[in-house]
Every structure is written in structure tokens, then in C-alpha cells.
Chain A
Amino acid sequence: MDALWIAKTGLDAQQTRMSMVSNNLANVNTMGFKRDRAVFEDLLYQNISQTGAATSEDTQDPSGLNVGTGVRIVATEKNFLQGTIVETGNPLDVLVEGRGFFQILLPDGGQAYTRNGSFKIDSDGRVVTANGYELQPALSIPDGVESVTVAADGTVQAKLPGQTDLATLGSIQIADFINPAGLQPRGQNLYLESAASGTPQLGTPGLDGLGSLVQGSLEGSNVNVVEELVNMIQTQRAYEMNSKAIATGDQMLQYLNNNL
């Protein structure tokens, strides 16, 4: 009884979409979060009778019988639209305005990428993410600095006590990918390079199409709450409709069993 199984594929797909909507809504306040979208595709068609098959030497069957087998979620797509800009005034909050990712060193020595520029200083003076992972290229801020400035091109300068000139501490480089949507999300706002994303192109912020840096601001989540709520309603109704299809298929079989 394939009508039941076909409707089941619909339920599965809508369930997955609902998880995606929930995840987007849960991350509405996550800095640098990029929303996901489910991509649906129709499954293969069973060709039960072929269109155009000869019914005699001179005539053709004008229509065949092709029954589809349902739907599946073929991919999830991250949408890398710029999120809202949130001004925080914190000198170590840095925003990438445009394309590009901060490079982060993972504890296992691997490289990760993030759009969340809310940095902190650890006990050794190193600039790290909220999870304590170090920013690359490594940057450390000496004890007792009076102020830190991050320029649009990534140059980091500090005013040391008793000096009038600013000391250059280093510079932040960002990485870009030809297909950011192909990056592997790792959680903790981090992404990993994948075969689909291409290799990272390192560069100076503001040059070669990379975004420039803005100090004292963060990038908010790019989840659109209204859109997600509409998606949620649509998903729920589609789910109900598929369960209706299962109920109808079930009734038909029940009728057959009870009446013959």
C-alpha cells in the first residue's frame, strides 16, 4: 500500500523542517548565527506504463502511468545574509561588515571559522572567543593597556601606560570562501572548511572584496522571526495534511477488510 508510505515520507520531511525552524528560532539571539533552510526534492517516479509506447503499428499510448514515491530533504542550506548590527561599545567586540570569517584555533590544533567577533582576553593576555579558543593570527594584549583600537583593516593598536604613541600589537586577518554555504557547521558558532566550501582565501579586511572590521559592534543572528513563524505554520499544516493522507489510506484498507 504505497499511498501510506508516500505520505510517511511527507511526515518525515516536514518533521525535519520543523526541527530546522526550531533551531533557527532558538538561535534568534545568537551572535553571528546564520539561519538554515531545508531543501525538498521529489523522489523517483515508478514508471508503471510507458508514455508513447506503441498500442499498434501506427498508434501510440498518449499517456502513461508514473506514480511518484514521495519527498525527501536533500540538503540544508545556510543563508549567509548579513545579520543585524548590534552596537555594544565593548572594544573587543568586532564585526565583519561584508564577506569573511575570523580564523579560530581549535584545542585539537584544527582551524575553524566564525562570524561571531565577541572576543575576550584570557589569563595569558591572548585574544580568545567566548569558548576560550584562540584567534588566529595569534594576538595578545599586554598587561595594563589603557585602550585597544581595532582599525577597519584589522590593525590592532594599544595605548600603553606612560606612552603617547600607540603601539601596534598585530593585525587581524580574515578568510573568505567561494561557497560559504558549503562550510560545515560545528556548533559554538564555528564552521569548518569542507570540500564544498573551497579553500580559505586569507586577506586583509576591506581589500579584495573582503568585509571591513567595525570595532564595538557585533553581528546579530540573521533569523527573521516573522518568516520562521510563517514557516512553522506552513510546516504544521503540511504535516497535518500528510497525516490526513495516511488516515484516508488506512480507512480505505479498513473498508476493504471489513466488507469483503
Chain B
Amino acid sequence: MDKMIYVAMTGARATLKAQSVVSHNVANVSTTGFRALQHTLQSAPIPGSGFQSRINTVGRADSWNANTGALINTGRELDVAIQGDGWLAVQTEDGGEAYTRAGNLRVTAAGMLETATGHLVLGNGGPISLPAYQKIEFGKDGQISIVPQGQKPDTIAQVDRLKLVNPPSADLVSAGSGLFRTTDGDALADPNVRLNSGQLEESNVNPAQALVEMIEISRHYEAQIRAMHTAEENDQAASRLMRVSG
């Protein structure tokens, strides 16, 4: 059979994967601090003798949209949102470092500050441990101040400072649970990252764009199937020619 059907098949397979990427983005339209994945298609020619017609398609998706999602006011004192570029550093299960934009924090029974997905938030020197407090405030630069339990409101204690980083987005790969990892070692704290407390950042998935992508992929897919159909017809025509009539 003509190689054409295989070329069209790679196109159909890659568009199907692209549809999964869009579905994933749409599923995460309400996930705090989510970053939309971007899919791209690349041509992968197969060199050989004769006219080079076998140019297959390979799907790519590991870049993500670095736009900031909308900030919404929640009024909760443990909610923080990064303004513009930057990330909160958290500790992963294996003791490594990962970065997140999802700032819905909470305090464990042992007084450790963690994210809603259960990852410890990192400060200047490792995970942040809070003494018993009446009131907690996050400064613009991530400085944490508290009114210790049983103290007057004028007794403010500085506890630690959130580790805020700003590595180039090309170095970050998404790892699920709202976390991103760097490809080349831990990022250094950046004093220029700013955060707002009492706010959360919504997912940066653009619903209109996602729906248009979905339609586009769907039509693209149909075109590939059409090409496969044509290849089949060509093949049938060829076998009809070979048939001895009578």
C-alpha cells in the first residue's frame, strides 16, 4: 500500500494527542494557579531514495502559557497570589524543591505552613514553622509577621520569609499537582517578586481559545482521515486495474 496512509496516520495520531492536551486545559479551567499547556506539531521527514514525500508529524507539548491568570479576592488570610512573574518554592515528597503559583496555604497541626496539596512551603532556611498565633500577615515581599498567641496586637513578631523565585519559564516543566520543577538545579530567591495576600490566582486557561482550538483540531483530524480514505480508494483503484476482466 502507498506510504501516504502512514503519513496521514501520524497526522491523525498527533492531532488526537493535541485534543487530549486541550481537554486537559479545559478540565483545569478552575484549578488555582494552573498554567495552560501548549501543543505544537513538528514535521519529521524520513530520508530515503527518491522524492521526499514521507514527511511525518510529531506532536510536541511541554511548553506552557506563562500569562498570569486573573486574581480573585478571597479575603482569607492564608491565601497569597504572586503579582506578575514569580513562583512560591515548596518542598516535594522526595525532599527536593518545586515551584507553584497556587497560593491557598494552610497550617498543619504541627504549625508547618503547607499548600493545599500538602507540600511544605519553603522559607529562607527550609520549611516554615509557625509558632501559635492569633493573626498572620504576609508582606508584599513574602515576609511573614504574626501576633503571637496571648500577646497584644502591638507585639508583632517577624517569623520567616517565603522563598519567592523567578527562574526563566523555559527552565520549568510541569509535574502535576500544580507543581513545576526546574531542569537545572534549584532556583535562587528573587527579592523582586511581589505577592498579594487575601487573593488567589485563577487558572490561565482561556476558555474561548480552548473551544476554538478544539474545533480546529477536530477539522484537522477529519482532513487526515479524508487523506487516509483517499489512500484507500487509490489502492482499490490500483487493484481493480490488476484484475483480469472476463
Q: For residue A207, which residues in chain B have a CB less than 8 angstroms away from its CB? A: 150
- Select one of A10, A44, A197, A235 contacting B27, CB under 8 A: A10
Looking at chain A's contact residues, the main secondary structure is mixed
Q: For residue A70, which residues in chain B have a CB less than 8 angstroms away from its CB? A: 23-24, 27-28
Q: Is B185's CB within 8 Å of the partner chain A?
A: no
Q: Are A195 and B109 in contact (CB under 8 A)?
A: yes
User: In the complex, what distance in Å separates the CA atom of A252 from the CA atom of B28?
Assistant: 22
Residues of A at the B interface (CB closer than 8 Å) are 1-4, 6-7, 9-10, 13-14, 17, 39-45, 48, 51-52, 63-71, 74-75, 77, 79, 81, 99, 178-179, 181-182, 195-199, 201, 207-209, 234-235, 237-238, 241-242, 244-245, 248-249, 251-252, 255-256, 259-260
Mask, B176-205, CB within 8 Å of A = 1, is 111000010000000000000000000000
Q: Are A42 and B28 in contact (CB under 8 A)?
A: yes
Q: Is B66's CB within 8 Å of the partner chain A?
A: no
| Chain A to chain B: the 7 pairs with minimum beta-carbon distance, closest first | A10-B27, A198-B109, A68-B24, A209-B134, A208-B150, A40-B31, A6-B23
Residues of B at the A interface (CB closer than 8 Å) are 12, 16-17, 19-32, 34, 37, 40, 58-63, 74-76, 102, 104, 106-111, 116-117, 132-134, 147, 149-151, 173-178, 183, 207, 210-211, 214-215, 217-218, 221-222, 225-226, 228-229, 232
Q: Are A255 and B76 in contact (CB under 8 A)?
A: no
- Select one of A39, A51, A69 contacting B173, CB under 8 A: A51
User: In the complex, what distance in Å separates the CA atom of A44 from the CA atom of B24?
Assistant: 11
Q: Are B37 and A66 in contact (CB under 8 A)?
A: yes
- Select one of A4, A77, A195, A251 contacting B218, CB under 8 A: A251
Chain A min CB distance to B114 (Å)? 10
Q: For residue B226, which residues in chain A have a CB less than 8 angstroms away from its CB? A: 259
| Interchain residue pairs with CB less than 8 A apart (16) | A2-B23, A3-B20, A6-B24, A10-B28, A39-B104, A42-B34, A64-B60, A68-B176, A77-B104, A179-B106, A196-B108, A199-B109, A208-B149, A248-B218, A249-B23, A260-B229
Q: For residue A9, which residues in chain B have a CB less than 8 angstroms away from its CB? A: 27
Which residue of chain B is the closest to A70 with respect to CB atoms? Answer: B27
Q: For residue A75, which residues in chain B have a CB less than 8 angstroms away from its CB? A: 116-117
Q: Are A234 and B30 in contact (CB under 8 A)?
A: yes
Chain B min CB distance to A243 (Å)? 10
Chain A min CB distance to B79 (Å)? 10
User: In the complex, what distance in Å separates the CA atom of A13 from the CA atom of B24?
Assistant: 13
User: Known contacts A179-B107, A252-B19: does B149 contact A209 (CB below 8 Å)?
Assistant: yes
User: In the complex, what distance in Å separates the CA atom of A42 from the CA atom of B117?
Assistant: 10
Which residue of chain B is the closest to A243 with respect to CB atoms? Answer: B26
Q: Are B214 and A245 in contact (CB under 8 A)?
A: yes
Chain A min CB distance to B168 (Å)? 14
